[in-house]
Structure formats: structure tokens, C-alpha cells
């Protein structure tokens, strides 16, 4: 698998709606107002056609799982990865 795009997700990337929306808007060019909603963001991610990998460190994963919004955002991302074969998640130390 050759990845065209690699994004490193940190806990602050998923800390709140504004942080996540800003990241996704900048990374994919999604409209900021649509990237602000997890359901809309999932729909937008389902349409990504470029091979894309989200890399998450073990430390970031532990921090993400400890916060309510961050955890819900990660679950949405996991669902998007399950539905879109162009999206991937890689866990690193």
C-alpha cells in the first residue's frame, strides 16, 4: 500500500470541535461549517478518494481515549476508515 497523504493525529487535534474542524478543513479542504459536525465530517470522509493514512502514537491514543469529545471523534474516524478503503489508521509507539 502506497500512501499519498499521511497525517499525524495528536490529542490536541481532536480536543474539541473547533480543533478537529480546523484540522480537517485544512487537510482536506472541507468547508469549515460542515467539518464542525461529526456526522457531516463522517460523510465528507466517506468521499475521500486519495489514499490517506492517519498516524496516532500510543501516547496520543491514551490521551484521546481519556476525553469525551476526542473519543467520539476517534470513533467517527474509525467508522469512516471501515467504510472507505482509501482511509487507513496506523498506530505507532
Show the low-confidence residues of the chain (pLDDT under 50): 1, 3
pLDDT at 2: 57
DSSP label at 13? T
Q: Which pLDDT tens digit goes with each residue over 69-84?
A: 999 999 999 999 999 9
Total domains present in the chain: 1
Query: Could you give the angle at the alpha carbon of 11 between the alpha carbons of 36 and 48, nearest 5°?
Result: 50
Q: Give the DSSP letter string of 44-73.
A: HHHT--S-EEEEEEHHHHHHHHTSHHHHHH
DSSP label at 23? H
This prediction has a pTM of 0.89
- Match 490517506 to its residue by C-alpha cell: 52
Chain centroid to Cα 17, Å, comes to: 12
What is the domain-level CATH number for residue 71?
3.30.370.10
Look up the domain containing 18 and give its range: 5-92
Amino acid at each position: 500500500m502506497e500512501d499519498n497523504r499521511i497525517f499525524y493525529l495528536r490529542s490536541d487535534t481532536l480536543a474539541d470541535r473547533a480543533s478537529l474542524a480546523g484540522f480537517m478543513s485544512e487537510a482536506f479542504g472541507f468547508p469549515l461549517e460542515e467539518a464542525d459536525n461529526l456526522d457531516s465530517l463522517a460523510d465528507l470522509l466517506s468521499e475521500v478518494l486519495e489514499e490517506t493514512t492517519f498516524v496516532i502514537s500510543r501516547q496520543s491514543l491514551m490521551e484521546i481515549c481519556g476525553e469525551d469529545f476526542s473519543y467520539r471523534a476517534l470513533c467517527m474516524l474509525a467508522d469512516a476508515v471501515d467504510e472507505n478503503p482509501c482511509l487507513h489508521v496506523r498506530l505507532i509507539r
